[in-house]
Structure 1
Amino acid sequence: MRVLVVDDDFMVAKVHSGYVARIPGCEVVGVAHRGAEALDLAARLRPDLVLLDVYLPDMSGIDVLGKLRTGAPDDPSVLVITAADDSATVAAALHGGALHYLVKPFDSRALQEQVERAVRIRGRLASLDRAGQADIDRLFGDDRPGGGTGTAARLPKGLTAPTAELVERVLRAADGDLSASECAERTELSRVSARRYLEHFVDTGAVTVRLRYGGTGRPERRYSWARR
């Protein structure tokens, strides 16, 4: 796995490069501190994975993500690594094609898990001629053998781990509880999709729900993250 590290802070870029260098089978092929520099290096070095900060001095990392993820088969995977924890940026990264999103600070193990996940996904894609539904479910969901143990593990059919993690982040960051409509607005999902993820989390015990009565019709369901 050839990795390009992009961060405006020279010391942080050095630390992240050190994390990657300790992962078997991975090498840092370049380091960039500006968006334009990242795009130039990506075009010349053709990395497999880009560790991308959002706060860059010349352009947003989200804009860099959009230029890296063109839809071509040889586009690099992109792991967003940033201090930005607002739901709008998380949603933009998700819809822009980011493989995952890590909020600073984090430990080396969290980064290693996501880099290893990128390795597995890239290897699985390279080995597939045609993809069966089970292959697709593993690629779009939790790709670890036997499923995972995290919040997004054992998702029902039709739900994906990246979107589940987005909904989780929005709920965790909320000041109080949210309705399905409010969650949909913050995640840029449809209300129906947001409601499916919320109800899944209720079923697993990760989310609590209360009913708010008022006016006519059925009471409104309000969701809050239980594991704070």
Structure 2
Amino acid sequence: MEELRPDLVLLDLYLPDLFGLDVIPRLRTAGHDCDVMVISAAREADAVRGAVRHGVVDYLLKPFDFEDLRGRLERYAVQRGRLLGAVVRGQADVDRVLAGGAAGPVPPVLPKGMSTETAGLVERTLRETDGTLSATECAGLTGVSRVSARRYLEYFHTVGRADVSLRYGATGRPERRYRFLG
């Protein structure tokens, strides 16, 4: 812990020399401000309640599929980015940040060819925009191509995290405008 200073610790509860939840207060006492995700076969309600009381960010029961772990790690990365980039102007901002960390179903894995990092970047840009944003504007703000920006924006619309409206001009196709839903 001293050497690596991890952001996230994957912690089993059945350790050879002590119960895993007893590790968390030791980490805090030693000054480690890391997040903890429990990965354990411990199915007892007291273990789950204890994990929640100790502030674990997630609890995954063994055995599990790699895709389940991957989805949880990706959700954690997005939430951590949301917390690090949070600007709190009022209660709605606090509620939005806390709701992102609420327990619930693991979001679907991103489609092939999409990265968590780019999704986080596009999401942050969309969230921080007052009003709506076009794919071209998003590309200019993020540095990704217009095609990539459009693909990520459409993904957020498909999963219910963005709303789309059309702006009609004098000629050509209407412009698709995206608004973050949270």
Please, what TM-score do these two structures have when normalized by structure 2?
0.50
Residue 68 of structure 2 aligns with which residue?
110
Give the whole-Å Cα distance in 1 for the aligned partners of 2:89 and 2:41: 36
2:18 alignment partner AA: M
In the alignment, does 2:74 pair up with 1:87? no
Distance 1:91 1:141, change over 3 A: same
SS in 2 for 1:141: helix
User: What residue number does 2:18 align with?
Assistant: 59
Question: Which SS does the other structure have where 2:2 is aligned?
Answer: helix
Alpha-carbon distance change, 114 to 69 in structure 1, aligned in 2, over 3 angstroms? farther
Q: Which amino acid aligns with 1:77?
A: D
Q: Which sections of structure 2, spanning at least 5 residues, go unmatched? A: 107-182
CA distance in 2, matches of 1:105, 1:49: 20
| Equivalenced residues, count | 106
Change (3 A) 1:54 1:46: same
Within-5 A mapping of 1:12-161? 42-69=1-28, 75-130=33-88, 132-142=90-100, 150=105
CA contact (8 A) 1:77 1:118 kept: no
Residues 49 and 118, structure 1, Cα contact 8 Å, conserved in 2: no
**Percent pairwise identity:** 45
- Calculate the aligned-residue CA RMSD, in Å: 2.9
Query: Residue 52 of structure 2: SS of its match in structure 1?
Result: helix
Provide the C-alpha distance between the structure 2 equivalents of 1:90 and 1:149, rounded to a whole number of angstroms.
15
- TM-score of the superposition, structure 1-length normalised? 0.41
Instruction: Supply the AA of the counterpart residue of 1:97.
Output: G
User: Unaligned stretches of 5+ in structure 1?
Assistant: 1-41, 152-228
Runs (4+) of structure 1 exceeding 3 A deviation are 148-151
CA contact (8 A) 1:54 1:62 kept: yes
Cα drift, residue 120 of structure 1 = 1.4
